[in-house]
Amino acid sequence: MTPYIHRDISWLAFNYRVLQEAKDNSVPLYEKIKFLAIYSSNLDEFFRVRVANHRNIVRAGKKTRKNLDFEPENILKEILKIVNEQQEEFSDIFERKIVPKLAKNGMNIRRRKKLSDAQIEYIEEYFNEYMLPFVQPVLLVGKKIRPFLNNASLYLALIMTSVEQKDKDEFHYAIVKVPSDHLPRYLELPATNESEKDFIILDDIVRHNIRNLFPGYDIHDSHSIKLTRDAELYIDDEYSGDLIEKIKKSLNKRSVGTASRLVFDRTMPDHLLSFLQNVFELDNYDLLPEGRYHNNFDLFKFPWKGEKHLKDKPQPPLKMDRIEDADSIFDEIKKGDILNHVPYHSYESVIKFFEDAATDPSVTHIKIIQYRVAKISRIMDALMLAVKNGKQVSAFVEVKARFDEAANLMWGERLEKAGVAVNYSIPGLKVHSKMTIVRRIEKEKAKIYCYFSTGNFHEDTARLYSDVGIFTANKNLTSEATRVFSYLETKNRPPKPFKYLAVGQFNLKPMLLGLIAFETSMAEQGKPAQIILKMNSLQDSEMIDALYKASSKGVDIKLIIRGICSLVPGIEKISENIKAISIVDRYLEHSRIFYFHHSGDELTYLSSADWMVRNLHHRIETIFPILDETIKETVKDLLHIQLNDNVKARIIDVKKNNSYVRDTTDLAIRSQVETYYYLKRKLEQEKIELEENND
């Protein structure tokens, strides 16, 4: 049987790599807390989407499983087992490592039983003045009184007895909301020491004051709970009907979706848990024990004092003087292709591409694919300015970008009002390509400029995500890019096949399989053969089988996979020539880079696509070649920097234990730091060469 790790089990291994950062002694305290928040946020989305999907398959019955190659019950059990173990470790990290280190730095998280008299008075006044209208106390009476729990909101489940009842073993139950959606989760208290700061978690303020909410009852205990609701949109892959209206209706239903997880304090007694299961009609697959506090993504908003030593050392984005200071970015692109690698390089060059296009009198057309966009976007402002200046501007807006549907609809409407020609989603497909084109009249002839990228046109994520893009005026690439936009706008298939670009729904997967097959044939002939693949996720079984075959024939394969990796490296006679690592560090590794030795005629590609079924079969993606030899060498160097990482790289193997890569060299290589200084040296050298040429 072909070795294969289920995508969701592999994803949990990735999220554990995020959790590892929170206990890495080399990571500053602020960053540790940030990684705890990222881990928690990731897990919430995972349950709302992936686990919800498994649960629905189980509930729908065996008729829905004809094409499945796994048993959803077994996957659910394994998921819950893994997550339970991780949650225990999460609690241990927070209580035993984070809280004590905060205290050492003068920031104390106080429990309610250790407050001073002044602090008690403060939280009682705060509760009465700010919290009382939001706590919504409800006495539960079996299924007769069953309150609706808002998705991801925090509640306390109370165990009580009536002061009048004689049988003190007969319990009553109630629910109280923790209003963290209205108020800060971490509240600063009057300090007991002038040199320190004291904080209390909002949940504990509610705990302290609940005795006043249920007169006539003695409250024995309280336990935190949270309900996660199904976030999947369930849009059928049909080719008729108003897709935009379906999206809007689905968004309205999202907050009231079926329960996909009840998170509860693992110290909760069985009788209370059983009662809640009955009231909210939950089964065992819906239950997930955690620590005392939930919604730990609220740690993103922890109130800091601002100590710089508790954060990563600054790595200010590198200014690309050649572009950013140019009178026109198009004059620079004409001289040759230009690489932009955020967040190491400044994103100003990309913004300048749009802003120059908006004001340049020679520009006639701008086209862009919008998948995810910042709330405040200079790029979108430039598009609207371009319309005012008489340009023809068109945008393809993908409204099926999960959790960005509402934002994309908003931007689509704003662009339309400004006069931009907006095309929306293709039913049954997501458009995930990351590219834009600008048409300019030069010497009475039209010339096309293009920016291809592995990431979205999103100014905020450009500071956090590691992505690679290329500005080019190469006619072989730009002419094919215009054909992609024509297809998106007209839905008419291009009359010519793509030769340089690989495009989803056309030639993307066949091209990749052909490149792997070529390396395989070279290895069979005893010739050098190598593949280096960097991506977010590797899950498509056909691609994995092709890599297994290549490995078995002797192709040297190196993988850098941030997230899901369903391929199992290092198995004798199957994948023994495959080595895989994952890098989790201060920036989110998001770029996709594919290298093939190709009999010495090295081929390097950048891509919007991961090797997942959804990307290769159900999306419009683009893979674009690096044609400039200097950029090709730079990208190859960047790959090898990551392959040599012995600080933040983890080994991906059948054990799934995320062991750190350690080697015998004395030099510590942290690839994200090495990449920054490598690109900084390149820019300095470029500046020197430019000055010499000017002299």
Give the residue numbers marked as catalytic. 432
The rounded Cα 395 to chain-centroid distance in angstroms is 24
Q: Specify the pairing of strand 259-265 against strand 287-290.
A: parallel
**Both tokens assigned to 51:** 């686990």
Cβ neighbours for 507, distance < 8 A, ≥ 6 positions apart: 497, 498
For residue 554, give Cα distances in angstroms to 290, 517, 594. Answer: 46, 12, 19
Dist CA 636 CA 626 (whole Å): 11
Cis peptide before 343 (omega within 30 of 0): yes
Q: Strand order of the sheet with strand 154-162?
A: 138-140, 172-178, 154-162, 217-229, 259-265, 287-290
Dist CA 505 CA 617 (whole Å): 7
∠ Cα 103 109 112 (to 5°):
135
Dist CA 581 CA 565 (whole Å): 10
Dist CA 663 CA 642 (whole Å): 14
Cβ neighbours for 223, distance < 8 A, ≥ 6 positions apart: 156, 157, 159, 264, 265, 267, 268, 272
∠ Cα 593 597 602 (to 5°):
75
Angle at which helix 7-23 crosses helix 29-46, to 10 degrees, equals 160
**DSSP notation for 177-203:** EE-TTTS-SEEEEPPSSTTSEEEEEHH
For residue 298, give Cα distances in angstroms to 38, 203, 312, 320. Answer: 10, 12, 20, 36
The pair phi, psi for residue 674, each rounded to 5°, is -60, -40
Dist CA 179 CA 205 (whole Å): 11
